[in-house]
Chains A and B, each alone.
Chain A
Amino acid sequence: MTMLRIENLHVRIQDEGTEILKGIDLTIRAGEVHAIMGPNGSGKSTLAHVLAGREGYEVTAGRVLYQGQDLLAMAPEIRAREGVFLSFQYPVEIPGVANTYFLRMALNAVRKHRGLPEIDAMDFMELVEGKAKLLEMEDALMARSVNEGFSGGEKKRNEIFQMAVLEPKLAILDETDSGLDIDALRIVATGINALRSPERAMLVITHYQRLLNYIEPDVVHVLADGRIVKTGDRTLAHLLEEKGYGWIEAEAAAATASTAATAVAKR
């Protein structure tokens, strides 16, 4: 089953006009894990934000289908309730709102949307306990305000913990490995791997290859200057680690110069 289909997506920054995505084509089926790699400024985070519905971007061409529906027509909260989850590169702090309270509100919003009854506090705590163990979340973190005073690693663990509780169908992980030490990286990766399932698709956005040592993607795409310039299997990630992004960018530039540009991007 096709989870996500992106067709010729062009996006620019609102009010500014700078085009960031210049024709993205991408198809992800349920059960697959795709990685998008690319240098800084290539448009990786923009893609994540546009898929989640962040304001400030303008789609000038193309479309995005999520489970066959027009994703771009949905409000951000509807996308979330329909099962799209974004693990933020910079998780936001919400002072005075307990982590568990926030998550219960979120879970109940999702459940309500799906016609399920609200989960009561007791059942919720039971559900959360198991997931918290998976991400090695201490009780103290659960009771504290959302992300307030969390270390970088704790914030990222919290993101994956939320994902584990909300059980999305499409998870977009935006630079989940950034700012993690090796132990935190291992915990986060364990959590992500535990959530791999035939019903779930994942889009892992990363600058570095190291996260992909733990989460083995089915497909690797390279994004450069707003286009997918290369697609391959996991060995592509290793190649990038060795040789950097320079050679691909050079290759892409050469391809753009020739008329074969779109053909490469669509491959």
Chain B
Amino acid sequence: MSSQNPVLDELTSREYQHGFVTDIASDSFPPGLDEDVIQRLSAIKGEPEWLLEWRLKAYRHWLTMKEPTWAMVHYPAIDYQKIIYYSAPKTQKDGPKSLDEVDPELLATYEKLGVPLEERAILAGVAVDAVFDSVSVATTFREKLAEMGVIFCSFSEAVKTHPELVKKYLGSVVPTGDNFFAALNSAVFSDGSFCYIPKGVTCPMELSTYFRINQADTGQFERTLIVADEGATVSYLEGCTAPKRDTNQLHAAVVELVALAGAKIKYSTVQNWYPGDKDGKGGIYNFVTKRGKCAGKGSRISWTQVETGSAITWKYPSCILLGDDSVGEFYSVALANNFQQADTGTKMIHIGKNTRSTIISKGISAGHGQNTYRGQVLIQKGAEGARNYSQCDSLLLGDKCGAHTFPDIQVKNSTAQLEHEASTSKIGEDQLFYCRQRGLSNEDAVSMIVNGFARRVLKELPMEFAVEATKLLGVSLEGSVG
């Protein structure tokens, strides 16, 4: 079908738009990893002894672990000694005190990416933490947030200014030895965002972190920790891009969310790491562990992700529903075009009574892309009255791509109610012809059909980003259907 459909071919082959490199002097470690590297990293950051010990413990554990092979992703072995574990723009050594101190080259970079760091000109109501390679380069609206007691800063800074919070919650959701990539992250994470919303406070603006990989051969290992205290509410968004390079780069992040009683956390991701070129060369390996703990009664954690980038995506944003009446949600659109491989899904672990979870997963495969949904719903013995609804839909564009679904459901309490629906459809000649017969161009028709398919998820995104994500889906597909 692709040969008959030049517009669709064109549509899925459009070029990655954030592939530029920022020319900026950096301080980087030589490639390689051992305990010395971790000690140096910890020293540069001026970390307390307990955190260094925490890292070393994770590292020693990591050495005993094997890289997982159960996912439907295939890639040449990663040489962990060839990766650079720390790289920071030279001018950022001590961290900027204010935006005026941020290197103009960096400000320009984020401007070019559409992430304004100028507070005056900023999208009304979004505070941004900008992470460039291994360090946070700017965090906006801090004073305004501080007035309400909201702490929003880089992880490194939080370690210094709020050690008691960091110590209490770091690793409380994703322990150091949780999995191979989480262990590696725990050993070498360089920066990330930290956020704490105090009791009863509704965060007055969207919080967001924008991750940018710039330096070649650098791994990005950031760590995000969000804690919503009792009755607090926060909406958080992350975006990611990287330059185009022929070599693959590793991104292994950990995100931990903690929602205490009555707290609500909404975490949205628009992931647009460089996906590699149309022949599958280059691109980011995105191995990410994201997990939230609904620790208190009536708490709620909602994950929404739009995954359009990366050569390989391996991530399963999950919820541990510990508190009674707590709610977990997972809304996902994953797109795999050209030679991209996405293996993504969620785990909903029901422990508390009357816990509820919803899973809506929409996979889009085009070109030679392979898209896998992998999910687990686990109802523990004590989870009286637990409920889950899962819906996994796949859309195929063309006949060389693939869609796979691996749901795992385990129920240990007979009062639980679960529903699972799944569908696979192909963007049909029928649909395209129908649209064209009404006057729509082939390109608009594909974009409309794909966005319609993903609608249920896109509408969960904060308004500003829903528009962005809709565009991104169109752009990421340019050149593929058939």
- Report A's interface with B, CB cutoff 8 A: 52-56, 75-77, 79-81, 85-86, 88, 91-92, 94-97, 102-103, 105-107, 109-110, 113, 145, 162, 166
Contact = CB atoms under 8 A, between A and B. Distances in A.
B430 A106 contact: no
Nearest to A75: B436
Contacts of A88: 434, 437
Nearest to A103: B438
A-B complex: 7 closest residue pairs judged by Cβ atoms: A96-B452, A96-B455, A97-B452, A109-B439, A106-B438, A92-B434, A80-B439
B440 A77 contact: yes
B394 to A, nearest CB: 13
B interface, over-half SS: helix
A172 to B, nearest CB: 10
A124 B269 CA distance: 34
Given A55-B429, A109-B441, A96 B451 contact: yes
Contacts of B415: none
A81 to B, nearest CB: 5
Contacts of B429: 55-56
A239 to B, nearest CB: 33
Contacts of B439: 77, 80-81, 106-107, 109-110, 113, 166
Contacts of B201: none
Interface string B417-447: 0000000000011110111111111101000
7 contacts: A54-B433, A79-B437, A80-B436, A88-B434, A94-B434, A106-B440, A109-B438
Nearest to B459: A96
B437 A102 contact: no
A55 B4 contact: yes
Contacts of A97: 448-449, 451-452, 455
Contacts of B435: 94, 102, 106
Interface string B269-290: 0000000000000000000000
Nearest to B430: A92
Nearest to A81: B439
Contacts of A75: 436
B7 to A, nearest CB: 10
B428 to A, nearest CB: 8
A85 B437 CA distance: 7
B14 interface: no
A80 B453 CA distance: 25
Interface of B: 4, 428-431, 433-442, 444, 448-449, 451-456
A96 B455 CA distance: 6
A96 B441 contact: no
Given A52-B437, A94-B452, A96-B452, 5 more contacts: A92-B430, A92-B434, A97-B455, A106-B435, A109-B441
A102 B448 contact: yes
Given A55-B429, A105-B444, A145 B452 contact: yes
A96 B454 contact: yes
B421 to A, nearest CB: 13
Given A106-B439, A110-B439, A166-B439, A91 B454 contact: no
Contacts of A145: 452
Contacts of A85: 437
Nearest to A111: B439
Nearest to A85: B437
A113 B433 CA distance: 18
Most central of A81, A86, A94, A96 by chain B CB within 10 Å:
A96
Contacts of A80: 436-439
Nearest to B444: A105
Contact of B433 (A76, A103, A109): A76
Given A55-B429, A96-B453, A109 B440 contact: yes
A113 B449 CA distance: 22
A55 B433 contact: yes
B453 A95 contact: yes
Given A94-B449, A96-B456, A97-B449, A162 B4 contact: no
A107 B456 CA distance: 25
Contacts of A107: 439
A42 B306 CA distance: 49
A105 B448 contact: yes
Contacts of A53: 436-437
Contacts of B433: 52, 54-55, 76, 92
